[in-house]
Structure 1
Amino acid sequence: MNLKKKEKEQAAPEKNLEPAAVAGKPAKKNIFKSRKFKYGGIATVITILFIVVVIVINMIMGVLDSKVVMEVDLTPNQVYGLTQESIDFVQGLDKDVEINILNSKDSFESGGQYYVQAAAIIENYSKYSSRVTVNYVDLVKNPTFAANYEDENIASNDVLIKCGEKHKLVKSSELFNSEMSYSTFSYVVTSSKAEQSVTSAMVNVTSDEITKVAILTGYDEADYSSLTSMLTSNNFDVQEVNITTDEIPEDAKLAVIFAPGRDYDQSSLKKLDTFLSNNEKLGKSLVFVPNTQPDQIPELNSFLEEWGMSVGSGVMFELSTDHLYNNTTPFWSAAEYVDEDYSSVITNKSIPVSVMQSRPIEILKESESIKVLLESTENSGIYPVDAAEGWQPEESDLTGPITLAAVSTKQVSGVDDVSNVAVVGSAAAFASSLLSSTSVNNSAYFINMFNTLAEREDTVLIEAKTLGGATMSVTTNVSIPLGVVFTIVLPLLILVTGLVIWIRRRNR
């Protein structure tokens, strides 16, 4: 019986596993087992995994970008990145610093390319130190923020830096250098000093002591606003003192006489002596800048003679054409660096300090205590005060090099500190157009001069940055082959490659 059952099972037709044909139509294939589905499914899974990986990487990079510098600044002078001086400063912070940009990010950057650069610079501070946080504060949406600083004239696009109970407001105008455009009769931004201003403000709020500078007035001084702005932007506490009525404050480290319109009297000169003596403890410095007009200043010169220097009559002229800014005038020229201590921080000494209508400085005695800081070339001389109209220099009038800036140091036995008197012959060297220019080193040099005289250690010297890039010129011999390659050869290569791939796939 079992044998018969087995024979029946063998004789029975095998069951068709495929769906039966209906009405003569071929059986439908199982699409889930088809080759197309198999490879298409794998491709779909790979695509989904790729998208997920991209999203995850993008999220990770987004988080890292707010904490770590991810961008590579390819601009020639790293205009969007921090200088090493600022990096070293923020990495050495031992206090928490909060930087508040007083606008939304979009509104702040809508101000133009220099605002975009300023935003990039400021955001980088927090990427180099966990001690620094950067916030965008929209004053419209958060009106109570300004109310907390009623002593400040806060406005949109200003930057407020805070450390503990101390704060420093950087006005938006202090982020950039600008000059009047006489074609549009409006101020145009020429360079960025965002890093300089913000780093200086951070030094201000984190430092326990601020160096005070007294600008001495009372003798019809010329405009010194650009000098004040330079000093303030570099963390000096500047105050005006009328020396005809007031004493120079004891807590002032430096005093400045800037281009007085008339000579000092004996009472004011005595106040200068008292300040520099500092009760025989020394430790003070005076910077004297004579007026560009060759006025006689016998009393001030008598004071300077005690320090081994005097201001000569006339103005310096320069005949070396490679040192002239304008070949039509010999009174606007580039000065030569002399003393290394006062120029060591200048990173590019091929960029000069510009002087205009400089008074000559006479060194009255050879002494190690007197240093020449800046001078003209040998092909220079002094234009006489009483020169006749049409006067032309002769060979004997070329008395260069002429001293344009010098410093004299006084030291007393048994006293650790020293006092200094520095003389800079050109008041025009402190003009805003020159201090804001990246084509000359006036700002960097004179900031370092004040820092050196004040014996400041917590200093960060940062020069302004210009966003203008260099233009790449392409000759006709180069442009024609490049045009053929990119407009004919490359498109044909892409077309042929596409046809070959299409034909091969079609014939599979």
Structure 2
Amino acid sequence: MAFGKKKEKIPAEQGVPFFKTRKFKYGSISTGLTIVFVAVVIIINVIFSLLTDTYSWKLDMTSYNLYSISASTRQIVNSLTRDQKIELTVMYNEEEYPEQFRETVKRFANLSDNVSYTFVDPDVNPAALTAYGAEYSIQEGAIVVKNGDRVRVIAFNDMYESNSSTGSVTYKIEDCLASAVLYVTKEEIPLVYFITGHGEEGYDSFMNLIANNGADVEEVKLSQLSQFDPLARVMVICGPMMDYSETEIRQLQEFLANDYNYERDIFFFSNPEAPALPNLDGFLADWGFQLENNIVLESDNYSAATYATSSDSVPLYLIPSYTEEEVSGVKITADYLSVVPNARSITLLFESSGITETTALMTTSEESYAKSSSNINAGYKKADGDPQGPFTVAAVATRYKYANNVAVESHLFVAGSVDMLGANYMNYNGNSNFLYRVYQMMADENESEIVGASKEARSTSMTLDTATVRNASIVFIAVIPAIFLIIGLVVYIRRRYL
């Protein structure tokens, strides 16, 4: 051994097998933890993806709530009894069905264990289109709703409406599904007549409202109706421009009397532009109503609606108050305000007469006034001699008898405005809600939420100026990549000297 010679420093891991080195040890642990972490993330992602697809665990971030289920639909589905099993069969390939429709079907079915769904591809199984019988015309894209032996088919084109002028699309699939469930679960499907032949018009929205809530609707002419269908419970007369014959008036009377069994009802909506209708006026008077030859206007800004493009109220667009009285044990009101345009006032000839009682349902404010139909074109400003409000613009009469100590009733509802049935006004929740409450009272149906959850979606564009585009480009092209590059360098340097 040579003294005075400095010993060379030998690296601590020189000659040690690589798999026993500290670098391999720490690297293996790091790699193993990474593999385990990635595997756990993948497994969790797969599990939640399956659960999301099965139970629609997705947040609806759309501005129009296109994928959300309304409270009224939830109430309908939650009211299903144990023996009511709803089967939804979508006649289309699941992957190719429009996403908004596909997601709505799944969310609808997930509301209850009593609802199930399946997709059937007609290209693979063409017999499915005729499996429910020749009476059903089933096309690709349709949804078949079935409960026991009762079937309702929803055509694909009925699930949406497009407006080429505004570029909007109104999705009605939830409405259609809820309506179909009501239809296939009712013990007895009521029939509602919509009378034609006298210039009646403007009732499409009201007819759709009734049909969407589980009733059959039929347009008929009284002159061609030899007898009433036993299931016919309600008749609707919308703004006739010609008088009814004496024979037709007798038909109205016989319909309501129902061989003195009652339990039938009529809606009557007046058209202020109609000429004198003496036969119909006599029919209404027998039930306690007189339609005045006037137009009601409103000077109270809080009781009149405004144009969408103006803050000024329009005196013809009435926002009446609802009655606090009950009719047949039911308080008829709505959760929202109604708009009643171009309305005639209704005089109640009596409150009670024999077996008939009348009740005002909608009244205007004390600031309202009326002008005769002949003077309305001269202007809306109140003049001396104009009758002062409040006025009744909607009312109902009840005629009853007792059978086995139970009251059986027929009703006649009268409104001074047929225009309140227009699509623009029925879109106000108050109009639809109020009229459906009247219908429920008349048809003696259980009180439930109204079906009406159509969702409108509009295509929108985003406008960006040059500065915004430049700044966004700098952030996404330079700043964010630079941040990740710096983080990567720091991690690399730290690991380099482990």
Name the TM-score, length of structure 1 as normaliser: 0.78
Residues 254-403 of structure 1: matches in 2 within 5 Å?
254-322=234-302, 323-326=304-307, 330=314, 332-339=316-323, 341=330, 344=333, 346=335, 349=336, 352-367=337-352, 369-387=357-375, 390-394=378-382, 396=384, 397=386, 399-403=388-392
Q: Is the 8 Å Cα contact of residues 202 and 419 (structure 2) preserved in structure 1?
A: no
Compared CA separation, residues 118 and 459, structure 1 to 2 (3 A)? farther
Compared CA separation, residues 182 and 43, structure 1 to 2 (3 A)? closer
Determine if the alignment matches structure 1 residue 232 to structure 2 residue 211.
yes
Q: Which has the higher contact order (CA 8 A, sep 6+)?
A: 2
Q: Is the 8 Å Cα contact of residues 361 and 403 (structure 1) preserved in structure 2?
A: yes
Q: Which runs of 5+ in 1 are unaligned?
A: 1-25, 110-115, 472-478
Matched residues, percent identical?
25
Determine if the alignment matches structure 1 residue 52 to structure 2 residue 39.
yes
1:243 corresponds to: 222
SS of equivalent residue, structure 1 residue 209: coil
Q: Is the 8 Å Cα contact of residues 55 and 106 (structure 2) preserved in structure 1?
A: no
- CA–CA distance in 1 between the matches of 2:187 and 2:97? 32
- CA–CA distance in 1 between the matches of 2:61 and 2:348? 47
1:167 corresponds to: 151
1:17 corresponds to: none
- CA–CA distance in 1 between the matches of 2:365 and 2:124? 60
Deviation at 1:77, TM superposition (A): 7.5
Compared CA separation, residues 312 and 250, structure 1 to 2 (3 A)? farther
Structure 1 residues 316-325 or 193-202, which shifts more?
316-325
Compared CA separation, residues 424 and 77, structure 1 to 2 (3 A)? farther
Compared CA separation, residues 210 and 162, structure 1 to 2 (3 A)? same
Determine if the alignment matches structure 1 residue 80 to structure 2 residue 59.
no
Which protein is bigger by CA-based radius of gyration?
A: 1
2:175 corresponds to: 196
Give 1:307's aligned amino acid. W
Q: Deviations over 1:101-133 (max 9, x none)?
A: 333344332xxxxxx444322211221222212
Determine if the alignment matches structure 1 residue 61 to structure 2 residue 45.
no
Q: Deviations over 1:476-500 (max 9, x none)?
A: xxx9xx99xx899999998887777
Q: Is the 8 Å Cα contact of residues 292 and 357 (structure 1) preserved in structure 2?
A: yes
- CA–CA distance in 1 between the matches of 2:24 and 2:422? 77
Residues 88-237 of structure 1: matches in 2 within 5 Å?
88-91=75-78, 92-94=80-82, 95-109=84-98, 116-148=99-131, 149-176=133-160, 179=163, 181-182=164-165, 189=168, 191-237=170-216
Partner of residue 422 from structure 1, selected from 398, 413, 424? 413
Deviation at 1:422, TM superposition (A): 0.3
Deviation at 1:321, TM superposition (A): 4.0
Structure 1 residues 43-52 or 207-216, which shifts more?
43-52
Q: Is the 8 Å Cα contact of residues 409 and 418 (structure 1) preserved in structure 2?
A: yes
Compared CA separation, residues 311 and 169, structure 1 to 2 (3 A)? same
Deviation at 1:458, TM superposition (A): 7.5
Q: Deviations over 1:129-162 (max 9, x none)?
A: 2221222333333322223354333333332212
Name the TM-score, length of structure 2 as normaliser: 0.79
Deviation at 1:241, TM superposition (A): 3.0
Give 1:324's aligned amino acid. A
Deviation at 1:454, TM superposition (A): 0.7
Give 1:288's aligned amino acid. F
Compared CA separation, residues 371 and 498, structure 1 to 2 (3 A)? farther
Give 1:456's aligned amino acid. E
SS of equivalent residue, structure 2 residue 200: coil
- CA–CA distance in 1 between the matches of 2:115 and 2:280? 48
Structure 1 residues 224-233 or 261-270, which shifts more?
224-233
Deviation at 1:173, TM superposition (A): 3.6
Compared CA separation, residues 140 and 334, structure 1 to 2 (3 A)? farther
Give 1:204's aligned amino acid. Y
Higher strand residue share: 2
Give 1:231's aligned amino acid. I
Deviation at 1:420, TM superposition (A): 0.7
- CA–CA distance in 2 between the matches of 1:276 and 1:33? 99
Compared CA separation, residues 236 and 411, structure 1 to 2 (3 A)? same
SS of equivalent residue, structure 2 residue 319: strand
SS of equivalent residue, structure 1 residue 65: helix
SS of equivalent residue, structure 2 residue 136: coil
Residues 460-471 of structure 1: matches in 2 within 5 Å?
460-467=449-456
Compared CA separation, residues 49 and 117, structure 1 to 2 (3 A)? same
Structure 1 residues 250-259 or 133-142, which shifts more?
133-142
Q: Is the 8 Å Cα contact of residues 178 and 191 (structure 1) preserved in structure 2?
A: yes
